[in-house]
Structure 1
Amino acid sequence: MTESNRPAHSLSSLERLWLTEAVRLREEHAGPLEDREANRLAQAAGGDLVSRIESRALWLAQRDGLFGALQHWRQGAQLALIVLLSLALLSGAGLALAALGDGQRPVNVFWALGSLLGLHLLMLLGWALGLAFAGDSAGSLGRLWLWLSEKLARDAQAAQLAPALLLLLQRQRLSRWALGLLVHGLWLVVLLAALLSLLALLATRRYGFVWETTILSGETFVALTQALGALPALLGFALPDAELIRASGDSALAVESARQAWAAWLVGVLLAYGVLPRGLLALLCLWRWRRGRAALALDLNLPGYSLLRDRLLPSSERLGVCDEAPQHLAEPQAGAAASNSAGALLVAIELDDRRPWPPALPKGLANAGVIDSREQRQRLLEQLTRFPPARLAIACDPQRSPDRGTLTLLSELARCAGATRIWLLQAQPGEALDSERLGDWQQALAKLGLSYANSAPLSWLETGHD
């Protein structure tokens, strides 16, 4: 089953709200959509205003291709995440190599520490400041992921989805936690890759460690080393003593215990001030995301939703509203109502008064008459929505042009029946059938995926086969 044909009930609550918000943004920027059938089906489904707005939006989203766009955006987001994860792994390994070098020269412990944790701490500080003062902080990694997701989606419709998702999340201040989870998760991958690479290098090469200074005293480095090592020491990592720290200021000690003490200190500091903070922040963001996701809801005070109140919860029916033409007519998807359909029905659309109607019908076939007005059209659609027929035959006069309104009505009627056939009537006695208009009808019906016949499909209506 393709995403465009995916049933709306299979969507998660977040996806339903997301698509509803995307439809609102689309109507806000491009004007109201042709939504007569969507409104009718939403009213027939019942429920409160929120559920009706959601039903309407999901029907429009499926008709206009937003279901497929959502799938394309998710695929682009997953691909963007894979790219960023790959870069994170390579960056982490690069940090470890830059910190320790090739082992030919002694490692300056504080330069190594700056290489491993410097950028991480700066970015963490920027994230915290953005969260405190801006209220939301996507971070550079979060913005990069959103940009890559949109570019990799390769769907014009998908361009509306990222803004819709951010607006939806920002109302509950969830975007900070959703994107924060992404940012901290990626940094956690970077630091874990650096930690594993660091352990691999320390296990396979012999490194000597020194510290160097020109203007600071040796006691300053002793105090700084012990202060940084206090937290790792609580986690069980060895802390170099004062004498060993002072001795390492002159040259790299060849003593194995000194190398191991400095290696343990470096690994412990990376774990305590890099991996653990990012891991804890990622867990915090995950907890806040899951907690706030359940509270997501539509904001009915927005103009796009408040204007739908009278149309979806009307105090009296309003018929005859003309909307802008959609870019394409929705395919009828015949058989969608087959699960609860029964009986057979014949209906005609805008027939000439001189044409005798209805024909003689076998017993058991219902006749819905001739549909000439919007009121008749609306009543019939509402009736078929509640009681869909198993088989529906629609008689049309091919002498009339197949205009947009008629084709839209045919699609709407076909979606209310288990199976549908169009009956293109013969010309009346003394009249010649316009072959060009007949060709237009046949082309239009073929484009909609509706079967048609030039003879009365009464046997099919009665028995289900010709």
Structure 2
Amino acid sequence: MTAAPSPTLTTLDRLWLTEAVRLREEHAGPLEDDEANRRARAQGGELAELIEYRALWLARRDGLINALQHWRQGARLAGFALALLALFTGAGLAWAALGDGQRPVNVFWALGSLLGLNLLTLLGWLLGFFLAGDSGGTLGRLWLWLSEKLARDARAVQLAPALLTVLEQRRLGRWLLGLGVHGLWLLAMGSALLTLLALLATRRYGFVWETTILGEGAFVGLTQALGTLPSLLGFGMPDIDQIRASGTLANDFESARQSWAGWLVGVVLVYGLLPRLLLTLFCLWRWRRGRAALRLDLQLPAYRLLRERLQPPSERLGISDAAPQRLHVPGSGTQLNGGDGAVIVAIELDQSQPWPPKLPGSVADAGVLDDREQRR
């Protein structure tokens, strides 16, 4: 097993796996980590680097990195399935709004079919974002649930909670899930707009408005109010006479048809697609900005306990050098009583040099002389 972390892991992946290991130890108890701790201490560095290195070594040993890859594959499949659902939903909304062209289209019923669900979910997202702190909504939770189910890996059970925990450090969960939610609705409204254009280009539709209790002036004012912003982008808007004439089922003016079609396309684009596009780009910007600032939260109790094992105040090193064959013992040498023979003496000899050397029997050792008294 190699100790170096995989080069394909991003900074977010490394923090994600570190948090997954922490949650796993929190629920199942401490892991066998003696070797991981030893390798981390040998690696050296700051405490956050040591904790991350230890977690990645354990994740590789226990298969969490493979589980992460499986979870990602499941997340991609879940995202693809939701994207297909969004495309078919948008096309279905446009088809339900216009019908088959056999009957005149009630413009405000059509507008409600095209924008009603989109605006309601957008309002729910805004309320959750500002009041409850739940920015993912049903679609975000559905995506996480599908990702876990499609991963089909029992080791991935802690990955989704670990991801949310990491992202909550800088409240990034709202931006990631918001990016997914608005991106899906952007696909849905784009599909609805394209289907709407295709139907208007290939079928002949008449547009009317009907009411029982409201007056004609209410529809004229509402139509002009909704068409103000689209008209700034070049979309047509029926004039007052055309709006009033559309209140009768007998209306069949070609110019009125084109004006109502342009008005309907412009309103869907401005009030349906553009808000989702702007929110998608905003969430993407906040997500990228916050992701670059992610750090390991060393204030968590589990990480504070790891400090003692990864950065101990003292460490037993063991034997660093082999013992010499003979130890140097300073002394005054042998007491000489005179007589014949040679005498060997060392003056201020370095302690790394062995003393005395092997001597024949006729040579006497006078020892190592280090100070004035010994030399005297």
Distance in 2, Cα, partners of 1:10 & 1:187: 31
| Cα pair 1:253 1:259 within 8 Å, conserved | no
**Aligned AA for 2:24?**
R
Task: Describe the SS at the equivalent of 2:273.
Answer: helix
Counterpart selection for 1:235 from 233, 236, 246: 233
**Aligned AA for 1:129?**
L
After TM superposition, list the pairs within 5 Å mapping 1:266-281 onto structure 2: 266-281=264-279
Q: How far did residue 134 of structure 1 move?
A: 1.5
Q: Specify the alignment match of 1:113 in structure 2.
A: 111
1:263 and 2:261 aligned: yes
Distance 1:147-1:197 versus aligned 2 partners, 3 A rule: same
Task: Describe the SS at the equivalent of 1:251.
Answer: coil
Corresponding residue pairs, total: 319
Counterpart selection for 2:61 from 54, 60, 63: 63
Superposed CA RMSD? 1.6
| Cα pair 1:166 1:175 within 8 Å, conserved | yes
Larger radius of gyration: 2
Q: Specify the alignment match of 2:170 in structure 1.
A: 172
| Cα pair 1:138 1:176 within 8 Å, conserved | yes
Task: Describe the SS at the equivalent of 1:9.
Answer: coil
| Cα pair 1:210 1:252 within 8 Å, conserved | no
Q: How far did residue 317 of structure 1 move?
A: 2.7
After TM superposition, list the pairs within 5 Å mapping 1:27-426 onto structure 2: 27-251=25-249, 253-317=251-315
Q: How far did residue 7 of structure 1 move?
A: 4.3
Distance in 2, Cα, partners of 1:213 & 1:10: 62
Task: Describe the SS at the equivalent of 2:7.
Answer: helix
Distance in 2, Cα, partners of 1:222 & 1:313: 75
| Cα pair 1:103 1:206 within 8 Å, conserved | yes
Distance in 2, Cα, partners of 1:305 & 1:261: 66
Structure 2: gaps (5+ residues): 321-376
Q: How far did residue 10 of structure 1 move?
A: 2.8
Distance in 2, Cα, partners of 1:255 & 1:205: 15
Distance in 2, Cα, partners of 1:51 & 1:5: 14
Distance in 1, Cα, partners of 2:121 & 2:281: 18
Distance in 2, Cα, partners of 1:289 & 1:13: 14
Q: Summarize deviations over 1:45-99 as a string: whole Å, max 9, x none.
A: 1110000000000000000000000000000000001110111111111001000
Distance in 2, Cα, partners of 1:237 & 1:204: 19
**Aligned AA for 1:251?**
L
| Cα pair 1:106 1:252 within 8 Å, conserved | no
Q: How far did residue 234 of structure 1 move?
A: 1.0
| Cα pair 1:136 1:175 within 8 Å, conserved | no
Return 201-210 or 308-317, whichever deviates more. Answer: 308-317
**Aligned AA for 1:126?**
G
Task: Describe the SS at the equivalent of 1:300.
Answer: coil
Distance 1:153-1:52 versus aligned 2 partners, 3 A rule: same
Higher relative contact order (CA 8 A, sep 6+): 2
Task: Describe the SS at the equivalent of 2:297.
Answer: coil
| Cα pair 1:49 1:309 within 8 Å, conserved | yes
Distance in 1, Cα, partners of 2:99 & 2:56: 57
Distance in 2, Cα, partners of 1:194 & 1:116: 7
**Aligned AA for 2:101?**
G
Distance in 2, Cα, partners of 1:283 & 1:128: 16
Q: How far did residue 139 of structure 1 move?
A: 1.1
Distance in 2, Cα, partners of 1:6 & 1:106: 69
Q: How far did residue 6 of structure 1 move?
A: 9.3
